[in-house]
Amino acid sequence: MAFLLALLALLATGTLSWAEAKPPNILFILADDLGFNDVSFHGSPQIPTPNIDEIARTGITLNSYYAQPVCSPTRATIMSGRHVSHTGIYMPLMMGTAARLNISYSTLPQFLEKLGYDTHMVGKWHLGQNELAAMPTGRGFASFFGYLSGEEDYITHQAAGAFDLFDGTRTAFEFNGTHSTGLWVSKVLNLLSKPSEKPFFIYLAFQNVHWPLEPTEEALRRFEGKTGGDAQRQGVCGLASMLDDAVGQVIRKLKDQRLYDDTLIVFASDNGGPTNGFQGTWSSNYPMRGGKNTLWEGGTRVAAAIRGPGIPQELVGSVSYHKVHAADWLPTLVRVAANDPKWLERNWPQGEPVFELGDGMDVWDTFSKGVAVREEVLLEAHQQDETRIAHGNSLIVGDWKILKLSPSQQEEFGWVPPPGQNPREVEYQLPCRLADQPRSVDYTECSEEFCLFNVASDPCEYRNVAKEHPKIVARLAERLAEYQKTAVPAVNSKDCGCAPVMVKGAWRPCDLPDPGAAWALRNLVV
């Protein structure tokens, strides 16, 4: 009795965290191409997202959370804890090639598996499909239901001319004709219905709101007359609304199973949304500048929130401007799962390269204590002789951001409000005075010389102050050079083994090409 009273006293005073009582379940929800302005917890009324908002309202809104400007790079960073400058995945991996995340790198699910977690993945992978070892079931997930490519049809599940939907290593032809949003939710609800003594890690990587724009007719009708007649924006709104509905179903299931209070939930987008018809779609990052495929804040500063055990009551409902990067999830979640900030260091795989400058940091103190851990965020860095590839070079140190864009980034990526929304009627969280937005911009100004922005006072990057602060530019450029020294070349598919093959109208790994063989070997492989 005395022990119980002492334990209750420790919990009441906060000196013993929930994580010290038992490891939490972890649900990581990743949206695809969701704009910063496409969730209502950021102030936009155009797309109501009450279920996603609940994660922010009952947790912490991460208003300085950074990801990479495109898909595969962010996903590789989340899974490996390594920055893209060290994975070499600077751009999306192309379907039909052997390119993949280095299979010698340990992944987040592999570490959590060692800590006794059941690990499951549902949705989009996009980190390699050429061999079994590159698929999710070869990277630490006990189960996988989803697709391996970067973009595919939501209903036919066709990608680059062939079917791409897997249940484990088996091609799941039977789901041709079923919308992916419902498929992912059904799988997660099924997983949550199965009792287990072990904590779970579920990585739920939605297809929404990536092109092609294929919401259901019912979801599309919700936004009739609300997008200024723009069909692309209406399609994005419909897919975002379906995403929110799906998140709501998962949250309700967690509550029904009495798992909600024991589950740490992370919600984030993989990159900023594509705007202004780019890639045939129209997400919104307004009032920030730019979008997907750019190093502007609109391409890299993305919607994110976290809630669950270990977050103190005084931080619930707060908005954090402390820096967090996608690479931080691996060391942070492993620390929480192990309840030991040194576990990863002590259990690092022998012979595997350790994290380098720019890789993931344990930022749990940002979530549990509200203190800053990160001072710097590397967005992208290349060796000096490779500055013309990918997106360019950019680094944030404190309040300051420098960037030099590659030639491909010289096209117009300005400030694009979503069709059907008057920006002056919206109360945005970010401290941007819309009246300060430039009427015209030289879009080549950051391609020859470094631009400099104060992203604390000017997160919308209205004013390049490089000429006013040459010493700050020089200091940050010198620091960026340190990151550039460790940057690796882009992944070469020729170094990754055999390419995936197309068999019976479906994509297959080259070392298990027959869908029938996959069915027979399923219990041995998964």
Q: Could you give the residue numbers annotated as active site? A: 71, 126
Distance CA 254, CA 188 (A): 10
Sheet of 506-508, strands arranged across: 158-159, 162-163, 506-508, 501-503
Distance CA 292, CA 35 (A): 9
- In sequence order, the β-bridge partners of residue 392 are 405
- 247 closest CA partner among 35, 32, 52, 27: 52
State whether residue 26 is helix, strand or coil. Answer: strand
State whether residue 472 is helix, strand or coil. Answer: helix
Distance CA 241, CA 38 (A): 10
Distance CA 500, CA 199 (A): 34
Helices 50-57 and 231-256: crossing angle in degrees, nearest 10, is 60
Q: E-assigned strands of 92-180?
A: 118-124, 143-147, 158-159, 162-163, 166-167, 170-171
Joined tokens for residue 260 = 């909600």
Which residue type occupies 322?
A: H
- Contact of 1 with 263, CB cutoff 8 Å: no
Distance CA 252, CA 106 (A): 33
Distance CA 12, CA 298 (A): 41
Please work out, in degrees rounded to the nearest 5, the angle formed at the alpha carbon of residue 289 by the alpha carbons of 284 and 292. Answer: 60
Distance CA 47, CA 304 (A): 16
Chain length of the chain: 526
Joined tokens for residue 425 = 């009627």
> To which residue do tokens 């297809």 refer?
207
- Contact of 403 with 446, CB cutoff 8 Å: yes
What is the number of other CB atoms lying within 10 angstroms of the CB of residue 429? 16
State whether residue 408 is helix, strand or coil. Answer: helix
Distance CA 427, CA 404 (A): 31
Helices 329-338 and 71-80: crossing angle in degrees, nearest 10, is 30
Q: What is the DSSP letter of 349?
A: P
Distance CA 36, CA 301 (A): 8
Asked whether the bond before 287 is cis by omega within 30 degrees of 0, the reply is yes
